[in-house]
Structure formats: C-alpha cells, structure tokens
Chains A and B, each alone.
Chain A
Amino acid sequence: MIDGRRIRALWHRERAALFGTPLAWTVAAIFALAAGVVELLVGLRAGVPASIAPAGGAAAWCMLFLAPALAVRSATEDRRTGFAEVLAAGPASSEEIALSRFLGAMAAIALAVTAALIPSALAVGHFARLDWGELATITAGLMAVGAALAATGLLVGTLSRSAPVAAFVSSVVWLALVVCGQVLPPIVGPDYAEAAFALDPMRRISRALAGVLDTGDLIAFAGVSMGLLIATAVVLHAQRTGAAAAHGGRLRTALGLLASLVAAVALADLAADVRVGPSIALARGPSAPLANDTVAALREASDTIVTLIRPASNQLPAADDLLLRVEEAGLLVQRFDPDDIDDPAYAQWLETLSTREQAAGESYDQAIDRGLDACASLAASADEVAPELDAVPGDAGARARALAAAWREFAAQWGELRRAIAAMRVTTPAQPFGDRMAAAALLRDALAAWSQRTAESAIALNQAGGVRSSAAGRVAEAQSRILGAASAQLRSLPALRHAMLTRAMADGSALVIERGESLLARPGWMVAGGGLDARARAESVLLDALRLPPDAPVPIVIIMHAEPRSMLRATASGADASAMRDALAAAGFEVLEWSVPNGDEPRFPTSRPHAWWIVPPIIREGVEPSKAERALVAAVGRLIDRGEPVVLSVSPSLLAVAGQRDPWADLASRLGVEARTDRMWLEAIPVDEGRVEFRSDLFVQVATLAHAVGPAVDGLPIHFPSASPLRARLEAVGAVAIIAMPTDEATSLSRDWRGARHRRGRDDERPSPEDACVMAVEPAAGSRALVIGSPDWMLSAVARRTVASDAGRAMLASPGNLALAVAGSVWVSGSTPVGMGSAADAERAARVPVLSRGQHAGAMVGLTVLAPALLWCSGWWIDRRRRHA
C-alpha cells in the first residue's frame, strides 16, 4: 500500500521546501536561542546538577508553537498553489502524501531538537560531565512530542486553507490539553485525576526531562501521532476522491476519521497498562539521588519485606511502579487489600506482626488499664478533696480554689477521656491493631498533668492545717503517687511498631517496610500520584526504613523547648513540632518532650542512641531573653558541656544587632560554629516595575555529598524561614557545611530585617560561599552536633505545608525539612546509616562548578549567539547558493 520510492520522491519536495530555504534553519535557530538562554540562566549556575534539562524544557515549549507551524506549511501551501490537484491526479496514495509530509516535518523537528540540545550538551560536557542517558531520553521525549504536534498540524493543515490559522489552532488544542492537565484534576477529584493528568503533554515531557524514558509516554505520543496521521490520510483521500459526492462517502469519511481518533485515544489510554516502568536506576533530576541510593541500598538489604496495603479502589501508581523495581531487586513484596477480610495471607501477616509485639502490646494494655484505674480513683476522690481545697484560706486560697474546680471538672468529664482511649484501642479491618501508642500518650499526658496538680493540692491542704484538710492532703498525696507511677509506667513503654501502621492506615492505604524487627509505615497518600515527586517520596520511604539498623535499640529524640504547652500536639497555627514528631516516629524514633520551664526532664537509658532537639522560643517579647528562654539556654549549655548530641537551631537576634551577646550565638560558638545572628538572609524579588520586595524565606535544594546527611536531603526542597549565616570557627572539629546559602546577585545578608517589611540596608553584605545554613560538627570525640541557622524550619506550619499532588491529594511542599530532621537525627544520635553516602555517589550527576567571568562569557556567546547565528547563517547561505545557482 505504501511504496518507499514514492515516499522518497515526495520527501525530496519536503526537503527542498524546508532545508533548501531558510525555514527549517530559522526555526532551529529559534530553538537554539531559547534553549541556550534558559540553559545559561538555569542550567549553568554554580552548584546545580549538570544537566541539559533546562534546554530541553525550553525546546519543549518552542515545540508546542513551532512544530505545528512546520507541519501545516506543506498541506496548506499545496492547496493554495493548486499543487494538491497535481498530486491528486498522480500515482501517490493519500497515505504516502500524508507520511511524506509528516517525515518532512519530523526532519525539521530533528534539526531543531539537535540545535536546542547539542550546544547545551557541549557546554555541560565542557564545564562538568554530560549525562548521555539524559541526552538520549530528552531527545527521545522531544521527538515523541514533536511527532504528535506535527501530526496535529498536518491534520488541521489538511482541513484548512490558511497556514497561520491551522498552526494557531493546532497549538491552541495542545495548550488546552496542558491547561486541562493543570486545572481539571482538583475539579474532577482523585478518581479521574489520573486521566486528566494523562492529557497534559508537558507532564509527560517532564519525565523525559528528568531522565526517565517512560514507555507509557512514548506509546501515548506514538499512538496519538499514528491516529492523527491516519486521520490525515482519510481526510486527504476524501478531498482527493470527492468521496462525499458519492458512495455514501461522507459517512465513510466521518467514520474513518472517528475511528482514527478513537484509535489514537485508545492507544494513549492503553499506554498506562502497557507501560514498562521507568527504571529508577536511570532516573535523575528530582528522584535520581534517591533512586540510585535506593538501588544500592536494596542490594545490601535483602532481608527487607515491602508490603502495600491498598483497597482495590485506591490507585497508587507510583507505589506500584516502585514495587516492580523492588521486586526486581530481589526483595519480597506483598500486596493486600484491607477490605478483603477473607484473605488468609493478610490475616497471617497481621497475626505475625501482632505476635512479634505481643509482649509489648500486653505491657501497653496493662499500663493503660493501670492508668485508667488511677484516673477512676482520682475522680472518686474529688468529692473528698475539692471541698477542702475550697476552704483553704489566705494567699494560697485562690490557687486552691482553681485546683478544686479542676478536680470537679475532671470528675465530671473523665468519662470522655476513658471513651476516647477506648476508641483508640478498638480494632477494625482498616485499623487492625488499634492505636495503643496514641492511647498511651494521651493517658500519659493526662496523668503527668494531674500528678503535678495533685501534688500541688496536697501541699496547699497540708499548709492549711486542720484535721480534715490534713486527711484530704494525704488523699491528694496518695493520688499524686499513684498517678506519677502510672505515668512513669506509660512513659517507659517501648515504641510499638505496629501503631505506626495503624496511623498510616488512617488514610485507607499504607506502604509498609519491614527489616528485621524494624517496621516503617507511611500513609498511602504520600506515595500517591504518577509524578516523579511521588516516586521520589516512595523511594525516600524505603530509604528511611533501610537507614534503621535491624535489631538495634530504638533511638530517641528529645524535643526541648521553652513553651509552657506541649509542642508535640498539633495546633491550628502549626506552631508546634507535631510534624517533626510524626516524621521521626515514622522513621523509627521514639520522641520525647522536655519543656524546660516545666521541669519535667525525661529520663531514659543513656546507652540508647539519642539526640536533643532544641526549639528556640517561638515568640519573643522584648529584646532580653525571658526567664523560660534563659532556662532553656542554660539547659542546652549543660548538654553541650556534657558532649551530648544536639541539634541546635538559632534565629536572628536583636541583641546581636545591638552589639550585645546573643545567648544562642554563644551556644553555637561552644559547638565550634559562628552564628551571625545579627544578620538575616534576604532575597530581592522584583514585583513590579521599579519595585522590589525582600523575602526572607530561603528555599534550597542542594546539599553537599561530602557528609552523610547530605545525600539524604540533596535534591529535596527545604524551606528555611528567617535564616542567619553560619560559619565554622577555626577551632571547630569535623565541621562540614551541609547546606550552603545561595549567593545570587539578588541575595544579601541584612542587618535591617526588623519590622513588617524587610528592606536592604547600607551595611548589607553579599553572602559568600562559606556562609552555610546547616553545619555539622563533631565538637568532641564521639560527639556530634548539627547547627541550623533558622528558628522555625522544623515547625509544622513550615515542615508540613502541603500543596495539591498529582492525584489531587495533599503532598509536602518542602519534603526536605522532614528529611533533614530524620537524617540529622540519625547522624547526630550516632546511628550507622545504611544507604547514605553509598557507592551510588559515583553515579550522581556532576555539579556545575563556579564559572569564571571568561567561562561565563564564553558560554553566553556560544549558547545565545554563536549557535543560533550559525544555524541562521546556514539557512541564508543555502538559500543564497540555490538562488544563484
């Protein structure tokens, strides 16, 4: 049906029209210019991964507008000049005509892609190291999307007489798909979100730009291209034979066109099912460091079992993709549907988990029951104690009456506490273990608070004197002892691994990783969606688990602060550490809290690996530190003196601005880090013509790979609000700047950051490459510390800020904050991390070095002047030569 010679004959004509004139060369020059400018501005910045992805991204957008224009030219020109009739009378079939036009456009697109990528590839190869795999995937991706765009232009051009109109319509159709892919998912909801995402060609291209060759994307583009080409041939045939006039041809044409388009859509839709998932070993960009580490670590951890618990209705493509790779790596993978209560394998697995922690579960039950008994006893004694408290005379009377009111309130309402705890212990198919840990934590906090109140009550009653008061005082004292003992028992309980599963499954699905006795569970939404970010998150879940050495003691993190309330409980404002607690707990840490002003210093065996997390005061009133802040600083000072592992966060300080000693900078200094808390990092953002606003939110994504923590956070966005610069002091031991501050032209270290609006002062400094926002030090033998130059980075409002994910669910906006918390805790607590700093480092993308002025100028001239000019001149010369032949 299709004759190669005739295609070749027609191709000569396309070649002459495109390459014998300046047309294809000019288009290629535009591609080269756009790609060169973007690569220069984005891809060749010091410290970023050496990549041609920015050039590829620019080429993809150029493609959206120029590929249809290249394709429509031939069809509309033939109709305009009448040559279409010559072709129609000739021997070439409609399929051959359509195919030759398509091949002509594809040749021009190939030149444009080459022009866009090769100069950038040369620059990257010259200054760093070119990733040939990335070059191949980006080229394949651009050619695939170019084919689909060209086929669209060909069809529309065949239907239209005006080339500009046809090109415009073709581009608008694809732009509409891009917009649909962005706008529709939140509207149609999770059930149809994947279909809406599938429409967006730029989302598919983004995978190719990240170095992932996803056969699903290639099939989708190829299917669309083929369908549109067939449709073009059908239309050409109809125009040529005038089938509309006879033989019921109009109906046949319409049916043929419809069948072609349906075939295109079906192939694109089918792509999801026939996808050979992108190899995580090949992926780079946002997921590459994780992917490489994952692969390397999986090979070291063949005792790991990965389980996906997911109702049949809940699609988790990223997790499915990941599990395929994990299976290939030789790990055992299980998939369960929690709604399928008859599945014996699922029941067996739950039974195994339950048996493994049977003793711990029973100790939880005992401790909770004992705590509830203590509460019941407390409520029962309220009638005896409260009236005596009301009768306390003198200065202590007011406080005693407040305590009496609290006793009565507890007696009246403690049933609610009992019911809440009972509800947490209930087991259901979706909650196979209940949440004993949450129940224990709730009860422990209540008991701890009431232990203190009953002790206060006893003191007040004993001081009041009198027989009845003394008797009530003894009751209160006894209650205080009972409550304290019950609280201590609850506090001493080990972390219950399967409680994590319960919490994770609150969402309905979970990814569970078991390694030895370690278990880690993450909610399904964190691995939902089909994008690379979801894949990267799913991989980081695996890594978190692998970093926990099996059978090791559970590490502890103690969150220290100066707030009177608990920082571990979530608040509406997000000014708490609940996100950090969840992340650390999910990574296998036991999280304790120490509110220094309240004095309840937690006790734990010091032989267990641990890390002290210091949260600076969230709100400061006045310049001078408050009493609570001074107490916190003093406590931290003692820890540093003892060589305890600490994670210290510092904030900009007015004291330092006024030239006085800032106690937080002093603490950092004792660790060997100079914290310049008189300055804040600011970035100038042009918001309007001639108007600039200053932002103090530092977003970084690049970490040094020379430190164990670096690979765990490298590539993940991290948000540091109100950052102060850190530098290693001369005497610092083992100091490594894990995350350096950006040193762009727009950034400064300002002393004038007070007030509602930041501004840039005269004595501002430019950040230097030595200024860091995260530093690791080893101040004494075997002692480790992390200093972070931002006060609020670990608060839930920052660390748990979410945006809509691919599947319309929430996803973390700055996943690096939680990753830094986990990886930092692992390192500071002295645990031996697995999968950090592995041999996979060698596979990492090279970084762009700091370019000298000459090198930068050379790159600028090469990318934005020489390459486009060379192409344009080639077209001009060829055209001139032919005209003067």
Chain B
Amino acid sequence: MLECRKVKRRFGPVEALRGIDASIPDRSCFALVGPNGAGKTTLLRMMAGVLPLGTSEGSIELDSVPRHQWRPGACAFVPESAPAPADMVVDDYLASSAMLAGRDDADLDTAVNHAIEACQLRDVRHRVISLLSRGYRQRVALAAAMASAPQVIVLDEPTSGLDPGQLVVFRSLVGVLRSTSTVILSSHHLGEVGSCATHVLVLVEGRSAWQGTIEELTELGSGSLESAYKQLVRPEGVPA
C-alpha cells in the first residue's frame, strides 16, 4: 500500500499541493485527473522521488516505509516525453535498465524478453531508439520500467501523442504492468482512465477534490465519467 499524507509543495508564491491525502492499493492502477495546473505532475514527481519531500511537506510511504528509505529500484518513473537514450539499441537499453535495477546476469535475458514481449517490441528490439516512432519510444520507456521490476511505476501523461491504435496497445500494457506492480498515472483522457484505472484521485487547484474507485466515480456521474468530472471540476463561480 502506498500512502500519501498531507503532501504539500510550494513553488515560490504558488502553492502547487495543499495537503493531499491518498491511499493507493497494491497492484492497482491509480489515475490522477484534473485540469492543467491542478498539481498532478508535481504529486507524481514527488511519489517518484524526482521532487523529494521536505520535513514539513507531509509524507509518502510504501508499506509504511518513508519515501527516502525506499530500496533502490522500488519505483520507476516515465515522464511525459518518455525519454530514453537516443543512441542505444532497444535491447541494450532494456538490459542496462534491468542491470541498473539490480537484476542478476542470469535473469537479464528473461527480464528483457518479458518486457519486449509485453510491450510488443519484438520487431524493433535491434533498432536504435532515436529512429523509432513516438508510440514505440513510449513503449520502450515502459518496457525499460518493466524490465527493472519496480514495485511502483509512475507514468506522467503516458498517452499524450498516441494514436488510437497505440492507445489500445497501451491499455493492454497497463494490464500487464499491474500484474507485478502498482501503476500510478496522470491523464487528461477520461476514456483512457475509465478503461485502465482502478482508482482515481481528482485534483483541483492542489487539493484533493475526490478519491475513490473508478466504479464510484462512474456512479457519481450517473454512469458518465465526463459528467462526474464536470461536477467535481467546475469552473470558479459556477454553482455545483
């Protein structure tokens, strides 16, 4: 179980997060939704450890272990641009990611092959990453995260820029990832959230507007995620 308690973050005069509480069950797909500037990426980066917590910024714990004490490789992070070393061959990158995460040499090939199969990268496994399309690069980034076998995978806007076909692949991929890890992602696409998320946290202006399962959210909107979202994220001054 990953738990966030009273997580706050301020960037100068801007309060990006104002005391977020969240409980994320193991092997769930936890989606952060909300308008631009709501604090989704900030919270994800804090969970990933890219933005570490100060003592007065609440706590993020994984199985009651504070963020700064997580074991190396417990969490993998895939930013929105899905960066990967442009000059590496896919195979080599996945192997080095697995090695970096502490996988044994004997286990490397298995891990790489599993990630390649899961992310449907067999055709491009010997290609240089810089020559791949946006969708493939996204899958390579996910495969690298998978090859390192983390307990938590944090994905920031993983579907931005993907075509419908790639979106389908992505959804199935999240299912695979969930089999071994907790997946936390942020997205603007409610359809995508509805198809792959199990739990949802709606953020508005750095605050937690709503949290629950995807089913509860659907129910709140009378069967429509869009309707529920509109209720929770209404423009300022507009009565609920």
What residues of chain A have their CB less than 8 Å away from a CB belonging to chain B?
5-6, 8-10, 12-13, 16-17, 20-21, 81-83, 85-86, 88-92, 240-243, 245-247, 882-883, 885
A5, A82, A90: which contacts B76 (Cβ < 8 A)? A90
A91 contacts B96, C-beta separation under 8 Å: no
B76 contacts A246, C-beta separation under 8 Å: no
Asked if B51 is at the interface (CB within 8 A of a chain A CB), the reply is: yes
Number of A-B contacts (CB under 8 A): 105
A86 contacts B83, C-beta separation under 8 Å: yes
Residue in B closest to A5 when the chains form the complex, CB atoms: B99
B100 contacts A6, C-beta separation under 8 Å: yes
Name the distance in Å between B139's Cβ and chain A's nearest Cβ.
15
Residues of chain B in range 135-151 having any CB-CB distance to chain A below 8 Å: 141, 148
A13, A82, A88, A245: which contacts B96 (Cβ < 8 A)? A13
- Return chain A residues, CB-CB under 8 Å to B53: 246
The 5 closest A-B pairs by CB, nearest first: A246-B54, A91-B72, A89-B77, A9-B99, A9-B100
In the docked arrangement, what's the CA distance between A727 and B131, Å? 72
B56, B88, B101: which contacts A90 (Cβ < 8 A)? B101
- Interface window among B42-50, B167-175, B191-199: B42-50
Asked if B22 is at the interface (CB within 8 A of a chain A CB), the reply is: no
Name the distance in Å between B34's Cβ and chain A's nearest Cβ.
21
In the docked arrangement, what's the CA distance between A9 and B55, Å? 33
In the docked arrangement, what's the CA distance between A21 and B85, Å? 12
Given contacts A85-B45, A88-B49, A91-B100, contact A16 B92 (CB under 8 A): yes
Q: How would you classify the secondary structure of chain A's contact residues: helix, strand, loop or mixed?
A: helix
A5, A90, A242, A885: which contacts B89 (Cβ < 8 A)? A885
A12, A83, A882: which contacts B83 (Cβ < 8 A)? A83
Asked if B228 is at the interface (CB within 8 A of a chain A CB), the reply is: no
Residue in B closest to A11 when the chains form the complex, CB atoms: B96
Q: How would you classify the secondary structure of chain B's contact residues: helix, strand, loop or mixed?
A: loop
In the docked arrangement, what's the CA distance between A883 and B127, Å? 7
Residues of chain B in range 69-94 having any CB-CB distance to chain A below 8 Å: 72-73, 75-79, 81, 83-89, 92-93
In the docked arrangement, what's the CA distance between A5 and B107, Å? 14
Q: Beyond A5-B100, A86-B84, A89-B50: 8 further Cβ-contacts under 8 Å?
A: A13-B96, A83-B84, A86-B83, A90-B101, A91-B73, A241-B52, A242-B51, A245-B54
- Return chain A residues, CB-CB under 8 Å to B126: 885
In the docked arrangement, what's the CA distance between A689 and B26, Å? 79
Residue in B closest to A249 when the chains form the complex, CB atoms: B54
In the docked arrangement, what's the CA distance between A246 and B52, Å? 9
- Return chain A residues, CB-CB under 8 Å to B127: 885
In the docked arrangement, what's the CA distance between A90 and B85, Å? 14
Name the distance in Å between B93's Cβ and chain A's nearest Cβ.
8
B84 contacts A92, C-beta separation under 8 Å: no
B87 contacts A17, C-beta separation under 8 Å: yes
B87 contacts A16, C-beta separation under 8 Å: yes
Residue in B closest to A78 when the chains form the complex, CB atoms: B83
Given contacts A88-B49, A89-B154, contact A9 B97 (CB under 8 A): yes
- Return chain B residues, CB-CB under 8 Å to A81: 81, 83, 86
Asked if B128 is at the interface (CB within 8 A of a chain A CB), the reply is: yes
- Return chain A residues, CB-CB under 8 Å to B100: 5-6, 9-10, 90-92
In the docked arrangement, what's the CA distance between A241 and B52, Å? 5
Asked if B57 is at the interface (CB within 8 A of a chain A CB), the reply is: yes
In the docked arrangement, what's the CA distance between A89 and B75, Å? 7
A16 contacts B89, C-beta separation under 8 Å: yes
In the docked arrangement, what's the CA distance between A247 and B57, Å? 12
Asked if B37 is at the interface (CB within 8 A of a chain A CB), the reply is: no
B48 contacts A89, C-beta separation under 8 Å: yes
B52 contacts A242, C-beta separation under 8 Å: yes
